Amino acid sequence: MKDIAPAISPPPGMGEKKGANATVSDWVAEVADLTTPANIFWCDGSEAENAYLLQEAARQDVVIKLNDQKVPRSYLHRSNPNDVARVEQFTFICTPTREEAGPTNNWSEPAETYGKLNGLLKGAMKGRTLFVVPYIMGPPDSPLAKVGIEVTDSIYVVLSMRIMTRMGAVALQRLGDNLEAEWNRGIHSLLDVDPSRRFICHFPQDNAIISVGSGYGGNVLLSKKCLALRIGSYLAFQQGWLAEHMLILGVESPEGQKHYVAAAFPSACGKTNFAMLIPPKRFAGWKVSTVGDDIAWMQIRDGRLYAVNPENGYFGVVPGTSMKSNPNAMKSISHDTLYTNVALTDDGDVWWEGKDGAPPAHAIDWRGNSWTPESKEKAAHANSRFATPMHNNPVLDPEAESGGGVPISAIIFGGRRSDTVPLIFQALDWNHGVYLGATMASETTAAATGAVGQVRRDPMAMLPFCGYNIGSYFKHWIATGKRLTNPPLIFNVNWFRKNEAGKFLWPGFGDNMRILKWIVERCEGSKAAAEKPIGWLPRPNDLDLEGLDVPQDAMQTLLSINRQDWEKELEAHKVFFESLGGVVPKELLDQREQILRRLSG
């Protein structure tokens, strides 16, 4: 990698030798001693700095500037083809004991792991620039806000972190003079981007993360899955709050009644799309607004859950995004966006499968090869992404920056299931809802490396992101319910049920408003539901289906539960619980017994 000039080390007012900032500079000096970079660049987060870094990244061929007429101030990055998604098999929770990491995480012993990683990091930044990226997660005035410092040798990471977080001097200012201030230490080095030297390691007890050998998304934007979820969930467990893989949206009726809901769907299962939903014509006067599209930090206040979005941008799935599926996302990514692994057209625009209009006659695909519509390979990678500032979103909720968070009326769990699971149902109470979350399953997607389309249990969409023992996590959820006098109602959705021909039965996207409306009506006390063994289900007439183009028999299937399927499903829950080796709390085992009794009753 060519070098950045000039060296800036550290600029006035940053990394000053006082208070917490002294500990930051000392730590940066330690990392520099180990990794021996050519120079150190302290990021202040300013416009001027960003312009300089973009120019520099383009000069080094790390990004390609797109046509300013087509997508103003936007860039394309291509990652190494061996490095296109999160790597769950190389992700580790490094707690003193294996038991603390629990049965769902890869564990490795902290001292040994530090030793191994320090060996890999020794001299790793030789000839490179070490960037110091200070950032805040959460609205700065939120009691939940957290500071992290990511040290990285990737300019792409710096550019992405500036979009995804509140990055720069603002974070060091927040640490200020307080020597006790809590902050996350994150070290990232590309090394030589070799999968056999790729490790994403978390040290919850030390509030520290070390990531090596990757340059992609959730592996390296340490604010996101690593801090906001894995370390975050551990801190939340310790401190009595929740860090969840959930979107947060506001929904307002024509009468001005507003609710906020949070929804946990696994990776590439519809969070960003749901968070930006545009209601169909039939729902004139209804407004949906986005607080967050991926992560929710929730605290208890006055017996209710209040949620903030710790992020400042969206790192979203590109393929399939169009004016038909998600116009708000299309507007958000029409300028000031950093694209990764999409195709480049001959006129400097970006293209992907599922974009509006005809495919270009010729393009350069995500690997940098010539592409035409006749090519066998996809032009954009299935996990190609955009990073775009949250303020680009035309339906950003007015409370998105509110530090106190928004009150959550409903929590929705949902996976990608071709069969068995109905379009929508409601838990009978909190613990039943926790059971629905704990047993949810989903077909795997391209968001992580490995096979796609395989059903796997993914509790609360947190399987890859819970930074401690999953049994303790379930107990934390149950304990949280006990502290809530006004708990959110809990629902389960499945947008992905298919017919025998393998076609989706439900149109999804904007039409999910029909389900959202039923959910908020239930929060308002509507009785429009029937009690079934697995929970409350709407009857077709309980949903507002006017103007919907779904045959009646399909609707019937979507809202039905098949007893044999559910007996099989409950057996799978049992197998899953048993696979966890005795950590599942009794409350959840009891829930299963109760559902079984209701099914055979």
CB 322 to ligand GTP: min, Å: 9
* Nearest-10 crossing angle of helices 430-439, 470-483: 160
Provide the CA 549 distance to its chain's centre, in angstroms: 31
- When the beta carbons of 433 and 510 are compared against ligand GTP, the nearer one is 510
Closest contact distance (angstroms) between CB of 459 and ligand GTP is 16
DSSP 67: P
24 versus 248: smaller Cβ distance to ligand GTP = 248
Read off the amino acid at residue 12.
P
Pick between residue 63 and residue 317 the one whose CB is nearest to ligand GTP. Answer: 317
* Near ligand SPV by CB under 6 A: residue from 447, 460, 493, 520: 447
Among the listed residues 44, 83, 294, 365, the single contact to ligand SPV using CB under 6 A:
294
Catalytic residue check, 466: no
Do the Cβ atoms of 73 and 39 come closer than 8 Å?
no
Smallest distance from ligand GTP to CB 261, Å: 15
**Does residue 86 belong to the site contacting ligand SPV (CB under 6 A)?**
yes
Q: How far is the CB of 439 from ligand GTP (least distance, A)?
A: 19
Q: Which stretch binds Mn ion (CB under 5 A): 152-160, 290-298, 382-390, 460-468?
A: 290-298
The reply to whether omega before 6 is within 30° of 0 (cis) is yes
Q: Which is nearer to ligand GTP, 88 or 294 (CB)?
A: 294
Binder of ligand GTP out of 213, 250, 320, 414 (CB under 6 A): 320
**Which residues inside 246-305 make contact with ligand GTP, applying CB under 6 A?**
265, 267-273, 293-294
Q: How far is the CB of 61 from ligand GTP (least distance, A)?
A: 27
Provide the β-strand partners of residue 340. 77, 385
Phi, psi of 381 (to 5 degrees): -65, 145
One-character DSSP codes across 488-506 = PEEEEE-TT-B-TTS-BSS
- Of 217-225, 275-283, 334-342, 365-373, which segment contacts ligand SPV by CB under 6 A? 217-225
**Burial of residue 423 (number of CB atoms within 10 Å: 0-12, 13-18, 19+):** buried
**Regarding beta strands 208-212 and 183-189, do their DSSP bridges make them parallel or antiparallel, or are they unpaired?**
parallel
CB of 520 to ligand GTP, least distance (A): 18
Binding mask 507-546 for ligand GTP (x = CB under 6 A): -xx--x----------------------------------
Could you tell which of ligand SPV, ligand GTP, Mn ion, none binds residue 509, using a CB distance below 5 to 8 A set by kind?
ligand GTP
Fill in the per-residue mask, 263 to 282: x = in contact with Mn ion (CB under 5 A), - = not in contact: ----x---------------
Binding partner of residue 218 among ligand SPV, ligand GTP, Mn ion, none, CB under 5 to 8 Å per kind? ligand SPV
Does 225 contact ligand SPV by CB under 6 A? yes
Question: Cβ 501 to ligand SPV, closest distance in Å?
Answer: 29
Angle at 195 between CA 194 and CA 201, to 5 degrees: 110
291 touches 400 (CB < 8 A): yes
514 CB contacts (<8 Å, ≥6 apart)?
280, 543, 544, 545, 548
- 414 sits near ligand SPV (criterion: CB under 6 A): no
Regarding 217 and contact with ligand SPV (CB under 6 A), the answer is yes
CA distance linking residue 145 with residue 241, whole number of Å: 12
Round to whole Å and give the CA distance between 94 and 97: 8
Q: Apex CA 383: angle with CA 381 and CA 387, to 5°? A: 110
Task: Tell me which DSSP letter residue 143 carries.
Answer: T
Q: Is 443 in the site for Mn ion (CB under 5 A)?
A: no
Q: Name beta bridge partners: 200.
A: 91, 211
Nearer of residues 157 and 447 to ligand SPV, judged by Cβ: 447
Residues 56, 150, 294, 521: which binds Mn ion (CB under 5 A)? 294
Interface characters, 216-255, with Mn ion (x: CB under 5 A): ----------------------------------------
Q: How far apart are CA 511 and CA 547, in angstroms?
A: 10
Facing residues of 130 across strands?
40
Beta carbons within 8 Å of 7's beta carbon, 6+ residues apart? 38, 39, 40, 41, 129
Q: Report which residue's Cβ sits closest to ligand GTP.
A: 508
- Catalytic-labelled residue, pool 94, 269, 466, 523: 269
Which residues 506-565 are close enough to bind ligand SPV by CB under 6 A?
none
Residue 8 or 390: the one with the smaller Cβ distance to ligand GTP is: 390
The token duo for 565 is: 């399927």
DSSP for 357-407, written as a single string: SPPPSSEE-TTS-EE-TT-SS-SS-TT-EEEEEGGG-TTB-TTTT-TT-EE
Q: What is the CA radius of gyration of the chain?
A: 24
The nearer residue to ligand GTP, 208 or 317, going by C-beta atoms, is 317
Active site residues: 269
Contact set with ligand GTP (CB under 6 A)? 265, 267-273, 293-294, 316-317, 319-320, 325, 447, 495-496, 504, 508-509, 512
Residues that bind Mn ion (CB under 5 A): 267, 294
Task: Tell me which residues touch ligand SPV (CB under 6 A).
Answer: 86, 217-218, 224-225, 267, 294, 315, 447
